[in-house]
């Protein structure tokens, strides 16, 4: 069905076609995974992040693609997007994604180590509560207050005779 072929993405990098893992249900899912894999290597950062986020929800197949992007010989920005996708993984794959990030800390490649280190720092950071954000918004309103004019109190009104 699929042979190893070179696919040219928008950045000029050559990507080998991915071999189906056997877990895909139909041809449409194979095409979607291939499109997301190509978008992960895009020049546009928002396209890369969106592709990584969508791959984070694709269970084993998404995890395999993100892991490949993190450890293969790709650009630093692709590795950062892959680390973002691994960080955003939810459900039963979250633990496996965390293990992949920790494995990336032991990598020989400096860009992989930096991406994994950044992802781990963000994973350990606690999100701020919504109440604190709303409270801070209320403090920024300007308070209106009365200012007395000292000049008026100094004036004396002449007496009528």
Averaged pLDDT, 66-78:
90
> Residue 97 domain-assigned?
yes
What residues contact 98, with CB distance under 8 A and at least 6 apart? Answer: 86, 123
> Residue 86 domain-assigned?
yes
> Residue 1 domain-assigned?
no
- Residue 141 predicted with pLDDT over 50: yes
Give 8's strand partners: 14
Q: Which domain holds residue 146?
A: 6-154
Averaged pLDDT, 91-113:
90
* pLDDT tens for each residue of 30-64: 888 889 989 988 899 999 999 999 999 888 888 99
pLDDT of residue 125: 82
- Residue 83 predicted with pLDDT over 50: yes
CB atoms within 10 A of CB 63: 19
> Residue 11 domain-assigned?
yes
pLDDT of residue 81: 92
The CATH number given to whatever domain includes residue 134 is 1.25.10.10
pLDDT of residue 142: 73
> Residue 160 domain-assigned?
no
> Residue 77 domain-assigned?
yes
Q: What are phi and psi of 88, to 5 degrees?
A: -90, 0
Flag whether the pTM goes above 0.85: no
pLDDT of residue 51: 92
> Residue 159 domain-assigned?
no
Q: What total number of domains does the chain contain? A: 1
> Residue 70 domain-assigned?
yes
């Amino acid at each position: 069905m699929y042979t190893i072929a070179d696919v040219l993405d928008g950045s000029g990098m050559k990507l080998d076609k991915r071999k189906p893992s056997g877990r895909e249900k139909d041809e449409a899912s194979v095409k979607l995974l291939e499109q997301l894999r190509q978008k992960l290597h895009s020049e546009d950062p928002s396209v890369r992040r969106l592709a990584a986020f969508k791959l984070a929800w694709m269970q084993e197949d998404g995890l395999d693609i993100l892991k490949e992007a993190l450890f293969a010989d790709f650009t630093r920005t692709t590795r950062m997007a892959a680390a973002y996708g691994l960080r955003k993984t939810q459900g039963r794959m979250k633990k496996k994604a965390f293990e992949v990030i920790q494995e990336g800390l032991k990598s020989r490649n400096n860009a992989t180590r930096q991406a994994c280190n950044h992802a781990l720092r963000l994973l350990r950071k606690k999100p701020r509560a919504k109440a604190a954000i709303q409270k801070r918004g209320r403090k920024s309103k300007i308070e209106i207050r009365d200012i007395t004019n000292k000049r008026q109190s100094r004036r004396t009104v002449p007496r009528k005779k």
